[in-house]
Amino acid sequence: MNKKIALTGIKPTGSLHIGNYFGAIKPALALTANYETRYFIADYHALNTMKDPAELSVSIREVAAGWLAAGLDPDKVIFYRQSSIPEVFELTTMLMAFTSKGLMNRAHAYKAIVQENNEKQNDPDAGVNMGLFTYPVLMAADIIIFDSDVVPVGKDQVQHIEMAQDIAQSINANYKQEVLRVPQPAVQENSAVVPGLDGRKMSKSYGNTIPLFAPEKNLRKLIMRIVTNSQAMEEPKDPETSQIFLLYKLFALPEEQAALAARYRAGGMGWGEAKEELFRVVNRELSPLRERFQAITADPAGLDRILAAGAEKARPIAAATLRRFRKAAGI
């Protein structure tokens, strides 16, 4: 039986953080056992917001090296840069013809900017470029062009995948045949939203991240900065409402989780101690990643070769989807 296809992409808009790791990279890598997998760097998506060439090219390399450091095996995963697959952009144009403007108006990211503009009494579309407005169409093309069955992502991306479903379904309905495969989102429930240092969702845009490859010293400093309440050391504490414990659960073994939860409930443990425990398990998991990351970034030519080989494997698949669609469309 043919394996199903899993695909996901990460925008290179800054350093990877543990939200990206648990929300996107780790679940995606876990799927490599049972799926055919296609993972990529969404560099044209990043161009919507990143206009500094040096920053963008560093970020592209960082995200690529990040995937590899986290364990991506380029012999098992088709691993490439979005910008290396021109067929994606051709498909985007074809999808545009089946995407109502109203659908784009409803996209959360666009709506949030319009709302902010309205609140500030700016022009509603101030700061909105067409790349941003049509973002979900490019993302649909990324997904659809590789016949993806499942798309592992964090919760915030589910709406985009539902839009890709809508677009693919309306094309299939129009041509009365399954021209394009309809994808499904795959959200990891226990890490759907990784909290940041301030308790909000961890995100580059909030400046509340724990970077995946932070040097040990910085990692420790960041963890010590996690916001806590003013409960005294001797008071019993509820692990389930503690940011520190929520993060701890991502890194610790079940028996470690049970032990720390018991110390919370018993009282007598201050927040400083809980943070030390958190640092210990975070550093245990991230140290080997950090070392691999340094080795990979020290060999940029090697990284380029891996990505070029991935693009070579990816392009024939993309071309086949385009051919199918063009034929159905009469082009």
- What are the residues binding ligand ADP (CB under 6 A)? 10-11, 13, 19-20, 23-24, 153-154, 156-157, 193-194, 201-205
- The entry of ligand TRP, ligand ADP, none near residue 310 (CB within 5 to 8 angstroms by kind) is none
- The entry of ligand ADP, ligand TRP, none near residue 202 (CB within 5 to 8 angstroms by kind) is ligand ADP
The Cα–Cα gap between 270 and 267 comes to 8
**What are the counts of helices (DSSP H) followed by strands (DSSP E) for the chain?**
15, 5
Cβ atoms < 10 Å from Cβ of 297: 18
CB 254, min distance to ligand TRP, A:
29
CB 19, min distance to ligand ADP, A:
3
CB 180, min distance to ligand ADP, A:
22
Contact 32, 76 (CB under 8 A): yes
CB 19, min distance to ligand TRP, A:
10
**Among residues 39 and 271, whose Cβ is nearest to ligand TRP?**
39
**Among residues 145 and 219, whose Cβ is nearest to ligand TRP?**
145
The Cα–Cα gap between 138 and 146 comes to 13
Residues near 61 by beta carbon (within 8 Å), at least 6 away in sequence = 297, 300, 303
- The entry of ligand ADP, ligand TRP, none near residue 204 (CB within 5 to 8 angstroms by kind) is ligand ADP
CA-closest candidate to residue 181, choices 159, 150, 158, 149: 149
Contact 226, 213 (CB under 8 A): no
Fill in the amino acid letter for 83: S
**Among residues 204 and 220, whose Cβ is nearest to ligand TRP?**
204
CB 157, min distance to ligand TRP, A:
5
**Among residues 181 and 220, whose Cβ is nearest to ligand TRP?**
181
**Among residues 150 and 179, whose Cβ is nearest to ligand ADP?**
150
CB 85, min distance to ligand ADP, A:
19
**Among residues 153 and 219, whose Cβ is nearest to ligand TRP?**
153
- Would you tell me which residues interact with ligand TRP (CB under 6 A)? 7-11, 42, 45, 139, 142-143, 151, 153, 157, 160
DSSP category for residue 192: S
- The entry of ligand TRP, ligand ADP, none near residue 201 (CB within 5 to 8 angstroms by kind) is ligand ADP
Q: Edge-to-edge, what's the strand order for the sheet holding 150-152?
A: 77-81, 36-41, 5-10, 150-152, 184-186
- 195 forms beta bridges with 201
CA-closest candidate to residue 203, choices 154, 143, 244, 166: 154
DSSP category for residue 17: B
CB 191, min distance to ligand ADP, A:
6
**Among residues 23 and 239, whose Cβ is nearest to ligand TRP?**
23
Write the Ramachandran bin of 83: left for phi over 0, alpha for psi from -120 to 50, otherwise beta: alpha
- The entry of ligand TRP, ligand ADP, none near residue 151 (CB within 5 to 8 angstroms by kind) is ligand TRP
